[in-house]
Amino acid sequence: MPDSVGELGEFGLIGAVTARLPQGPDVLLGPGDDSAVVAAPDGRVVVTTDLLVENRHFRRDWSDAVDIGHKAAAQNLSDIEAMGARPTSLVVGLGVPADLPVSWALGLASGLGDEAALVGASVVGGDVVRSPLVVVSVTALGSLDGGPAVTRSGARPGDVVAVCGRLGWAEAGYQVLSRGFRTPRAVVEAHRRPAVPYGAGVEAASLGATAMCDVSDGLLGDLGHVAVASGVVIDVSASAVTVAPQLKEVASALGADPLSWVLTGGDDNALVACFPAEVSLPERWTVIGVVSSGEPGVTVDGASYGSAGGHDHFAGS
């Protein structure tokens, strides 16, 4: 096989990529036609899309192709989870420089396919084009399987707020990599590949979650979207938020505040949801706050938090 995608050509690359992508039970017609056909058993389909641009959302010198594929899939699958849905499929648009190694493109495909397979979803189609820098667009589809869609707008005063999954880990990894380090490995790997709490979205919906979103921009920023959409105040209790010992160690070495990573760091793709107070939550959900009435917004221990805005993809890095 040629070394670069330019030598291999569009159709050659599509063929090589497609061969790495097993098709799951929801796929009625897989890659190779004008469109794919996917099951939508209850007559509804959940859909979300993200665009990742090299040097903005990932760096080829910080993450390998497999990790970037995992991360690109994970952040979209997480958006499906956040509706209380089960991911069924992905379609991927890939822009590649002509000199990109074929092995890189195949690694990306493997990462995308393997992450999707964690939830039984499949990469069912895509597009490959030439681009001066690597661009990856991922669209995920999901099924609610007869259940309710959990939006951001249903939180009610009296609800509790709970989180499932890691927070602050990807930010810690980003801070480490930004300073030129490659360790500690646990946080660097958390930056490279989020650990989405798959299945927790459907679980939350079945437990009666009133509102939910995934934490991609930062806990307080994303809770801010829920607060505004629901017209409520969300107060987070700092003492209830888990700051892992590993994060404390890294923060101490870097002279940083690990709580701020947990409260405002993005890209971990945890899920945060509101539940009626009487709901008994499984162990992987941690109650971190409460919902009350008032001017919509988010507070920490009853007060506004310094850098609570989350990151704006235009302004931040």
Contact between 15 and a copy of itself by CB under 8 A: the answer reads: no
Q: Is 216 annotated as a binding residue?
A: yes
* Span from 60-68, 210-218, 256-264, 299-307 in contact with a copy of itself (CB under 8 A): 210-218
Number of residues this chain uses to bind a copy of itself (CB under 8 A): 73
Chosen residue from 16, 53, 195, 287 binding a copy of itself by CB under 8 A: 53
Question: What is the DSSP secondary structure assignment for residue 4, as one 8-state letter?
Answer: B
Q: Is 152 annotated as a binding residue?
A: yes
Strands (E), 116-210: 122-130, 135-143, 160-164
Chosen residue from 16, 50, 101, 259 binding a copy of itself by CB under 8 A: 50
Shortest separation between residue 55's beta carbon and a copy of itself, angstroms:
8
Contact between 9 and a copy of itself by CB under 8 A: the answer reads: yes
Shortest separation between residue 92's beta carbon and a copy of itself, angstroms:
7
Strands (E), 97-247: 122-130, 135-143, 160-164, 211-215, 233-236
Shortest separation between residue 184's beta carbon and a copy of itself, angstroms:
29
Nearest residue to 176 via CA among 265, 64, 108: 265
Are the CB atoms for 169 and 244 separated by under 8 Å? yes
Nearest residue to 58 via CA among 311, 267, 270, 315: 267
Taking the least distance from each CB to a copy of itself, the nearer of 48 and 210 is 48
Chosen residue from 17, 65, 144, 202 binding a copy of itself by CB under 8 A: 144
Question: What is the DSSP secondary structure assignment for residue 293, as one 8-state letter?
Answer: -
Taking the least distance from each CB to a copy of itself, the nearer of 171 and 214 is 214
Are the CB atoms for 108 and 21 separated by under 8 Å? no
Q: How many other C-beta atoms are found inside a 10 Å radius of the C-beta of residue 49?
A: 12
Nearest residue to 68 via CA among 27, 28, 38, 109: 109
* Span from 52-60, 180-188, 284-292, 293-301 in contact with a copy of itself (CB under 8 A): 52-60
Contact between 164 and a copy of itself by CB under 8 A: the answer reads: no
| Residue 304, amino acid | S
| β-strand pairing of 297-300 with 233-236 | parallel
Q: Report the site for a copy of itself in 176-205 (rule: CB under 8 A).
A: none
Q: Report the site for a copy of itself in 230-259 (rule: CB under 8 A).
A: none
Shortest separation between residue 275's beta carbon and a copy of itself, angstroms:
17
Taking the least distance from each CB to a copy of itself, the nearer of 124 and 188 is 124
How far the first Cα of the chain sits from its last, in Å, is 37
Encoded tokens for 2 = 């040629």
Encoded tokens for 154 = 């249903």
* Span from 190-198, 243-251, 272-280, 308-316 in contact with a copy of itself (CB under 8 A): 308-316
Binding residues: 34, 48-50, 57, 79, 126-127, 152, 214, 216-217, 267
